[in-house]
């Protein structure tokens, strides 16, 4: 489980079990800079079956 499990966003909570080190906000960018790794930015959304 990553740091998204405690998010206020229902979309982010859905991704709490993804096998990546994930976290919302500036802390994710700071960690990427510290580790010198790229940031993968998710701009996805959630919708119901009918809205697809």
Spell out the per-residue pLDDT of the chain, length 52, in tens. Answer: 677 888 888 888 888 888 776 677 788 888 889 999 888 877 777 777 777 6
Nearest to 3 by CA among 30, 36, 37, 33: 30
Return the pLDDT at 36: 95
Determine the structural domain holding residue 36 and report its residue range: 1-51
First-last CA distance in the chain: 28
Number of domains forming the structure of the chain:
1
Return the pLDDT at 52: 63
Global pTM? Answer: 0.51
Find tokens 């960018």 and name the residue: 29
Residues 17 and 37: their CA atoms lie apart, in Å, by 21
């Amino acid at each position: 489980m990553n740091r998204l499990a405690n998010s206020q966003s229902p979309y982010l909570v859905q991704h709490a079990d993804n096998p990546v080190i994930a976290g919302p906000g500036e802390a994710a960018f700071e960690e990427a800079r510290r580790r010198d790794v790229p940031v993968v930015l998710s701009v996805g959304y959630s919708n119901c079956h009918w809205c697809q």
